[in-house]
Structure 1
Amino acid sequence: MNGPDGRDIRGVRLFDGFLDAAAQAAMVSDVRDIVRAAPLIAPVTRRGQALSVRMTSAGDMGWITDRGGYRYAPRHPSGVAWPPIPASVLAVWRTVVPDARTPESCLVNWYAPDARMGLHQDRDEGDFDQPVVSISLGDDALFRIGNVARGGSTESIWLRSGDVLVMGGAARLIHHGVDRIAPGTSTLLEAPGRINLTLRVVS
């Protein structure tokens, strides 16, 4: 890991290249263990609309969405328990947000080359004083940052493999999303695409 320096973008803290190549490869191996224990699912909204990302989770709670709505659940939809958050992932959290509580959930999103994520807020958690930490692995993603209130101007930045982003403080509820993936910009994964790990305190 690189040092805890970072730069501010609309209140969001970006740590460029936080994970070196070896750390990224080790974390991908840990993610594969998560997926073997709790396979990726193709989520839908409460209206039955399919999301373009596939997802799973690690930790005490996992974030799910289906016709029952957005929520955290103690088990994978198959009924199996979520696997623990890997030590490699927890180490990132403890370095970039050392004063925060221990995260209870790590959402794993797999972005295929054509996947997107519209502007949204992370607001299903119980304590907005606790940050959200996002780790990027694989191909570059064009990440859009908006405002806490809906609407207004936005700014887009490229997130690259090994980057870590923190949404906390006044930016904890900022709108954000992924406009597109740039296939072939990383050789980390076996196939084109991106893994995003999002650490959250749920309770």
Structure 2
Amino acid sequence: MDLFDEIERGRTWREELCDGAVVLRGHALAIEAGLLGAIDEVIAQAPLRHMTTPGGFRMSVAMTSCGRYGWVTDRSGYRYDAVDPDSGKRWPQMPGVFFKLAQEAALAAGFADFVPDACLINCYEPGARMSLHQDKDEHDFRQPIVSVSLGIPAVFQFGGDRREDKAMRIPLQHGDVVVWGGAARLRYHGVLALKPATHPLLGARRINLTFRKAS
């Protein structure tokens, strides 16, 4: 039976990917209204934008941030910055509903005392993708990554410590949360190109919230 069908019917469970990595199926569903309202508030202050990589490529995923730091990429490189380069202002404050979800999900995955200071908001439309990469711009790799999926389905790739390692393909649905840290913290990961779909609350979009401890 197709895993997406299982999730659509409301079954939720904890899925271990490897030592240090887990999918918490449907973990964010109970607070979806609060999350979506908070996302709209952040985007109103710091609009989504398609950033450019150091190599000059326009990212297919539109992004913004909230929290003490935001993630930025441009011709000069990848980095965290306290100021939104588009507005010259500090990034919007991280909503309380975001912070609480990130801490609770990290604890459920076995990572206590997670205090995220950055949340990346990624907006995928059909055809958008994220190539395999490591999250390594942070200062403390002892802190996990918490990734929340909202909207249309996606296939998450979770690989090994080297880019050439074979990656698992994990289907994600609205409300699923992936947490990885410890021995899995620097594993390569990405998202396959999204297939055309619509969601009753978000239309033809997938919103991904990625929480990190940047400083």
Question: TM class, shorter-chain normalised?
Answer: over 0.9
1:72-110 CA distance string (max 9 Å, x none): 001111212111111111111221223133111000000
- Tell me the alpha carbon deviations over residues 113-169 of structure 1, each in whole angstroms, 9 at most, x when there is no partner: 110000000000000000000000100001111101221221101110000110111
* Counterpart selection for 2:188 from 175, 184, 187: 175
Q: Tell me the residue number matched to 1:193.
A: 205
What RMSD in Å do the two structures reach over aligned CA positions?
1.5
Do structure 1's residue 82 and structure 2's residue 91 form an aligned pair?
yes
Asked if 2 retains the 8 angstrom alpha-carbon contact of 1:100 and 1:131, the reply is: no
Equivalent pair of 1:30/1:86 in contact (CA under 8 Å): yes
Corresponding residue for residue 111 of structure 1: 124
Question: Which residue of the partner structure matches residue 8 of structure 1?
Answer: 16
CA drift at 1:57? 0.2
Shift of 1:65: 0.2
How far off its partner does 1:41 sit? Answer: 1.4
Aligned residue number for residue 58 of structure 2: 50
CA distance in 1, matches of 2:116, 2:28: 19
Structure 1 runs of 4+ aligned residues shifted over 6 Å read none
What TM-score results when the alignment is normalised by the length of structure 2?
A: 0.88
Q: Deviations over 1:7-40 (max 9, x none)?
A: 21134210001122x5213211100100011111
State percent identity of aligned pairs. Answer: 42
C-alpha separation in 1, matches of 2:197 and 2:166: 30
Q: Does 1:39 align with 2:47?
A: yes
Residue 137 in structure 1 maps to residue 150 in structure 2: yes
Q: Write the distance in 2 (CA, Å) between the matches of 1:24 and 1:178.
A: 22
Equivalent position to 2:106, from 83, 97, 102 = 97
Asked if 1:28 corresponds to 2:59, the answer is: no
Unmatched 5+ stretches in structure 1:
none
Unaligned runs of at least 5 residues, structure 2: 1-11
TM-score, reference length from structure 1: 0.92
